[in-house]
Structure formats: C-alpha cells, structure tokens
Amino acid sequence: MSTASDRAPGAAGSGLNDDIGEDKRLALYRSQVRLRDAEQRAFDLFLQNLVKGTSHLSLGQEAIAAGFAEAMVKGDLSFCTYRGHAHTLARGVPVEKVLGELMQRDNGLMRGKGGSMHLTSEEHGVMGSYAIIGAHLPIACGAAWRAQYKGDKDVSVCFFGDGTTNIGAFHEALNFAAVWKLPVIFVCENNLYMEYTPIKDVTAVEHPAADRASAYGLERIVIDGNDADVVYRTAQKAFAKARAGEGPSLIECMTYRHSGHSRADPAKYRPEGELEKWKERDPVKIYRERLKQFGVSDDKIAEIDASVRKEVDDATEACKAAPMPPLDILTTDVYADGGWAWRN
Amino acid sequence: MAEITYRDAVIRGIAQEMARDNDVVFLGEDVAKAGGVFKATVGLYEQFGPLRVRDTPISEQAILGAAMGAAMTGLKPIAEIMFSDFFAVCFDYIANEFPKARYMSNGQTKCPLVVRTGNGAGSRFGAQHSQSVENWCMMIPGLKVVAPSTPLDVIGLLAAAVRDPDPVIFLEHKSLYATKGEVPDGEILDTLGTAKIVRPGKDCTIIALALMVSRALAAAETLHDEHGIDCEVIDVRSLVPLDTQTILASVAKTNRLFTVEENPRLCGWGAEIVSIVADEAFYDLDGPPVRITTPHIPLPAADILEDIVLPTPGRIVDTVRRSLGS
C-alpha cells in the first residue's frame, strides 16, 4: 500500500502535498469522473440491450487509468486488456467513440469490427486492447524495443490484471524487458479476483506481481491503486526511469472492481461486506474529498461533474441515433491492401 | 552468378534487406553470436551489429510479441522461431494477434513482419522437431505463408516477405539447407503469391512444395524416361496468397492433378487445391485428383521409418502410373 513518502511532504502545517498542482488535480478528477460515468452508462445501456456482446467494466479502478494517463505525454503508448474502456477513455478518446463500439454502431472506434474487448485508437496512443491474457506484455516490449532502437523517447505502458501474473507470457515479457532494458512500464491492477476466483487462492505469493519482481531484478512496488495522486506520482517516477534508459518497472496497484468480472457476472462469490468496505475507498469519492481539502469549491466540482455528464449524455444520444455498420466493411482490412483476397 | 547453398541464401536474403533498410531488425534464439543452430544466420551479427541482430532468451512468446510490437510502431522485424514445431508454444501470436490486429482495429494497426522458421522432416529429429506446419498457418485469415524450395527463391521470396506490409510466415525446409543452386549477382526480389512451373508437361499436373518439389521433379524424370508420361511440375511456393490461376491453367492443359504434400494428410494444403479444382475446373479433369501425403501419424525418429512415411519419388511414380493406368 502507499507509504509515507507517497503523501509527504506538504506545505508546513497543512499535511497536504501540493506537488501535483491544481491543474493536474482537476484533470485527474475530471478523468476519473468521466471514466466512472461512461462505464456506468455502458452498464445502463447493457440493461437496455443496447450494448451487445460482452463488456468488462473498471468501475472502482478509475484512479489507475487516470493516474497513468495523466502522467503520459503525447506519443506514449498504452497497451490495454479486454477490461480496457477506462484506459482508452483516459487517453482522451471521445466517449461517443467508445460507447459506439460497445453498441456496435458505425460511429464506434472500429466501426463494430473489434468490439468492447479490442478498443484501439492509435491516434491517441491506444495501441490496442488484448483479449488473450498476457499477449500484450511481449507486444509492449516490442514497441519499447522500437523506441530504444530508434532513439525515440516514448514509453510503452502495459496494463493487466492480477490473473495475468500466472500466465507464461508475463514471465517471458518481464525477463525480456529486463535483459534488454526496455522503456516499458508493466502495471498490474490487482483487484483481488482472477475472474471469479480470489487471486490468493491460485497464486504462490501474496502480491502476484510485486512479489515476482525480484526474479527479474526489479524493484518491488505495491501502491494504493485507489488514490490517483499516489498512482500519478508512482507513474512519474517510472516514466522518468524509462526515459532515462534505465529500463522497465513493474507496479502493482491494489484496487477493487465494484462490478462483476464481465456483464454476465453478479459477483456472488464475494464475502459479505467486502464491496461495501471497498466502496468507502472509492477512488472518485477519495479524490472529491482531496479537491475539497485543497480548497476547490463545491461549485467547481459540480461544474466538472455536469460537463462530464453532458459529454456522456450527448455521446449516448449520438450512439442511439447512429446507424449500424454497413455490410461492405465485412471484408475490408484483412490484408494491408484493404481487402481479403487470399488467391488470384 | 554463383552457386550457393539454401542456407547461405537465407543469410544473403536477410543481409540484402538489412542493408537496404535500417528499419529491418532480426531477433531469435542463438541467431546472433552463434549464427543460428542451422548456421543460416552466420555473419549477420558481425555485419549489422548488436542493435539490429539480437539474441533472445528461450521465450517464443516474447520473440513473436516483441516482433509484433516493433512492427506496429514502425520497424520491419524478422523473427526466427528455431523449429516450426515451436509455433505451438507461441501460437497466440500466429493465430490471434498478427493476423487479426488490422481487421479488429478497422485498419488502424499494421503488422509488417516476417517469421522465419525451420520446417519439415528428414533430420531424424522425431515428432516434435520435424513437422510440416504450413497447414497450421494457411488456415488463418490475415497471414501470408511462403515456403521456398531453391536458394534463388529463398532470397527473392524473403525479400518480398520483408517488404510486404502483412505478417508473413516464411517456412525454410531443414533438409534443403545444404542443397545448392545458381543465384545471380545483385539484388533479388520475387513476388509473393506466384507459383512457378518448374517442369512443363502435358499428361498430368503435379503440385509440390519445398522439399517435395525436388522429389516431384525426380519422379517426373522417371515417369518420362521409363514410362512415357510427361508431367508438368508446379512449385506452389506461396500458399497464401495462392496462385490458383497457374494451377487451374495447368489442369486445363493436362486434365489430371496430383499434389505432393509433406504434411500429415488431414487438412493439408493439397486438399484446398483439390477443392478449388473440383469447384472450378471439374470438367477439365479426366480422372479423380490424387493427393500424395505423409500418412496421418506423428513422425518417427528412426531413419528407416521416417524415410518411408514421407512421399518419395518412387511413391509419386507408382501413384501417377496407377492413376493414369500405365
């Protein structure tokens, strides 16, 4: 969990650390509210049968996506999992593009060809959402290798869940990144459950990512993933390390998802009271209080809330009105020539 | 013009492309300082340096994943998987990641990479280091699949694969590494998706790939010299894209079709070709198409056993004679 050094030092007597500054704090808040509202809307639209297929929400995990995205600069690359809505939105992808893809409309990010689990927006640095557990850790290594080879200063950030730490690709990628000293950051969102099973029941160590770090010569880092300031500061350090050519970081962020694993999961396997306990540490709630501690007015907070709500409402209406994808995209972009021809 | 081995052609092909384009990089197990377990990459590390020719751990998923990430962001990687049998431990990239990224992203994601691998039998390595896995790859939309049979084709098709904007699986046959062929001086560039008529003939069409091409040619000489049967032999070279026009034109001329496949029988590439010919040229056929394949068994290690399961010139001759009633 967060350590004293994550919170200190503040202005004398205030107990508050103002290293982040008001503009970035407001951005961190806005981002978290935006992810929360957009995903809550996605869930509502699912209940109306307007979101099709599957979806995996990050409700309760917003501080990680917001904290890392706000620490990135243009050109940095995000590699996400099937639970990737939040990470995609956090890089600035319009809510309409994400909801449109979830609703399988022509205005979606990939016009309905990818779906919820494969959100990609390269112009925003979102290099894909990967639905095969572990696959994107080596891919992020490759993007980081390109940066190292070309002398580019961008950093590749790879987000994944606690369950990923038990698949082979995790270990191959960590070793590979460490040996090649690649500018890549591995971010484990430990929400305590590997799909429906407590991660502790299936993992040899208490902290599934951090307790493996030493095997790859990396620092053991476990942080409070529900505090966006802690995430942001930790991310900044990792970015600085990567950009300085000092290699990869592995960061385990402790968090909790408020919803089930996927839309089909009511999460009945959780012990009574656990969700309620974590909701007291809701990242959006924590951050709203943080803003107030720093003297941000209720009006300013309400203004942010209202403008986010408007973006989500407008996006929802635009998606409801959007057409379904045309059938002629069915066979486009199988190959680089734009088509699907496998023979002459 | 010089006579070089298939092995040296691999080196020359990679070197040609690396010298041409600084974005071409090469990674794999034992490929750099050791020059490859088949000695098919000797000298590249010395010529292009440690930043462009890189040894990896035994981590096939990391090799292919890293190649993909590099390709997505601007490089043109060549990745080596030592034995094609090892595709099974990194098949996620071959089946799920390389070929689907462009489609799923509605054209945003590019994946211009080449996976080179040692494919095929004849080395007495047994069932897990001898397979012909071209059909594992051919079945996946989004991939291209190439398997050269001569040193000249190795260079030209490898160059075409590196310059191709799609992911290409490049299958080198282990039993061909020591074989030799004439290769002209200067840059060599071929075209993917083109079959080659390597022996014109009028009585039947024999379609072969990689190691089977030389066996089909040997059989054709015997059939001609001893039995008066004039075979047209086609080296299919590229399974995806597939040059169906060359195949269909040949069948229209000879009216008989044989395929010679090293892969185990079920779902071999020959079955797809037979299906295409049956659909589109049925009335050109004077008799049933015949597939000559390895039987549907794992490959044995012992030479006496391995030698009788792969199609041989003798088996091709017997099958063609029996089918043509000569």
Tens of pLDDT along B298-323? 999 999 999 999 999 999 999 999 99
Burial of A293 (C-beta count, 10 Å sphere; 0-12/13-18/19+): exposed
Taken as a whole, chain A contains a residue count of 344
| Interface check A198 vs B, CB under 8 A | no
- A3 vs A42, more confident: A42
Terminal Cα-to-Cα distance of chain A (whole angstroms): 60
Q: Residue A301: pLDDT above 90?
A: yes
Q: Which of A119, A125, A92 is nearest to B106 (CA)?
A: A119
| Interface check B113 vs A, CB under 8 A | no
**Does domain B196-324 fall into CATH 3.40.50.920?**
yes
Q: Is residue B14 a contact partner of residue B45, using CB atoms and an 8 Å limit?
A: no
Query: Alpha-carbon distance A20 to A22, whole Å?
Result: 7
The two tokens of residue B167 are 């992911």
Mean per-residue pLDDT, B236-261: 98
User: Which pLDDT does position A266 carry in this prediction?
Assistant: 85
Cβ-Cβ contacts under 8 Å between A and B: the total is 163
Q: Tell me whether residues B73 and A132 touch, CB distance under 8 A.
A: no
Query: Alpha-carbon distance B183 to B175, whole Å?
Result: 19
Which residue ranges make up each domain of chain A? 20-329
Residue of chain B nearest A343, judged by CA positions: B242
Please confirm whether the linkage preceding A9 is cis (ω < 30° from 0): yes
Query: Alpha-carbon distance A109 to A103, whole Å?
Result: 11
Mean per-residue pLDDT, A44-69: 94
Q: C-alpha dihedral over B48, B35, B147, B139, to 10 degrees? A: -90
Beta bridge partners of B146: B170, B238
Q: Tell me whether residues B65 and A340 touch, CB distance under 8 A.
A: no
Q: Is B129 a catalytic residue?
A: yes
Give the closest-approach CA distance of B105 to chain A in angstroms. Answer: 5
The two tokens of residue A92 are 């600035």
Confidence of residue A15 (pLDDT cuts 50, 70, 90): low
Phi, psi of A121 (to 5 degrees): -150, 85
Which residue ranges make up each domain of chain B? 2-183, 196-324
Query: Alpha-carbon distance B235 to B148, whole Å?
Result: 9
A146-192 per-position pLDDT tens digit: 999 999 999 999 999 999 999 999 999 999 999 999 999 999 999 99
Q: Is residue B192 a contact partner of residue B146, using CB atoms and an 8 Å limit?
A: yes
> Chain A partners of B245 at a C-beta cutoff of 8 Å?
344
Q: What angle do CA A143, A149, A153 make, to 5 degrees?
A: 70
The two tokens of residue B245 are 């026009």
B135-146 per-position pLDDT tens digit: 999 999 999 999
Q: What angle do CA B46, B48, B52 make, to 5 degrees?
A: 120
Sign of CA dihedral B193, B199, B205, B211: negative
User: Which pLDDT does position A10 carry in this prediction?
Assistant: 41
- Which among A144, A176, A342 is the nearest to B57, CB-wise? A176
Q: Residue A4: pLDDT above 50?
A: no
CATH match for A20-329 among 3.40.50.970, 3.30.1490.20, 1.20.1250.20, 2.40.10.340:
3.40.50.970
The two tokens of residue B31 are 């490929």
Q: Is A83 helix (H, G, I), strand (E, B) or coil?
A: coil
A57-98 per-position pLDDT tens digit: 999 999 999 999 999 999 999 999 999 999 999 999 999 999
Q: Which of B242, B154, B169, B203 is nearest to B323 (CA)?
A: B203
Q: Alpha helix locations (H) across chain B?
A: 6-20, 44-48, 60-72, 91, 98-104, 134-138, 151-163, 211-227, 244-254, 269-280, 303-309, 313-324
Contacts of residue A100, Cβ cutoff 8 Å, sequence gap at least 6: A106, A107, A108, A109, A315, A318, A319, A322
Q: Residue B4: pLDDT above 70?
A: yes
Beta bridge partners of B233: B199, B206
Q: Residue A265: pLDDT above 90?
A: no
CATH match for B2-183 among 3.40.190.170, 3.10.129.10, 3.40.50.970, 3.40.50.1220:
3.40.50.970
Query: Alpha-carbon distance B249 to A91, whole Å?
Result: 54
| Interface check A77 vs B, CB under 8 A | yes
Is B196-324 in the same CATH topology as B2-183?
Answer: yes
User: Which pLDDT does position B263 carry in this prediction?
Assistant: 97
